Structure 1
Amino acid sequence: MVMRLIKIVIIVPIAILLVVLSVANRHLVTLALNPFEPQDSVLSVSLPFFLFLFAALVVGMLIGSVATWFAQGKHRKRAKDEAHEARKWREEADRQRNKIEDATTQKLLSASSR
């Protein structure tokens, strides 16, 4: 419930901000990809300004996500290795417990048969 409230508190203002930004920046701008001849229509695109802003936001979020994913790789590898080691020790403990139970059962059976 708290996480849902936090998401609403964060997402609603961001959505309102994006709508206001879109309405305020809907005039056409031209992005020229030819630095030597900016008037070249082949290497330019005209779109509303807010689309360029949203595209920059999305690209920035993707780059940040990829950078974070790579930066946390060592932590994911360590967690994977530790989980593998914990699984190995758990299996060893189960084997030892089974040995003890079998030995105890054998002793009880041999003692009761006397």
Structure 2
Amino acid sequence: MFGIGMPELILILALALIVLGPRRLPEIARALGKGLAEFRRATDELKDELRQVEQDVEETSAKVMADSDPNVEKATETPPSPKPTPAPGADQSEKKPQSA
């Protein structure tokens, strides 16, 4: 419990009894208890909401991936480079047999 041992807890309660007095101590303790309960309730609600949002995001992501076109992956690939073709009239004279 927050690293507070029994001797520290007794000291805190004794100081609270001296400072606040025996009449106001139960009121303060009750208000503190209600405040802590409300804080816990709010944090639990926040955790639940965050879990729900996370689940919704995962479901949406899975649906988008399932609905996506498989050709999309192919479209992002780099196409093969075309084979080089000789320029017109460049090396064609060398390839023709010479007639004598």
Interval containing the TM-score (normalised by the shorter chain): 0.3 to 0.5
**Taking structure 2 as the reference length, what is the TM-score of the superposition?**
0.45
If each structure's strand is expressed as a fraction of its own residues, which one has the higher value?
Answer: 1
Q: Which has the higher contact order (CA 8 A, sep 6+)?
A: 1
Larger radius of gyration: 2
**Taking structure 1 as the reference length, what is the TM-score of the superposition?**
0.40
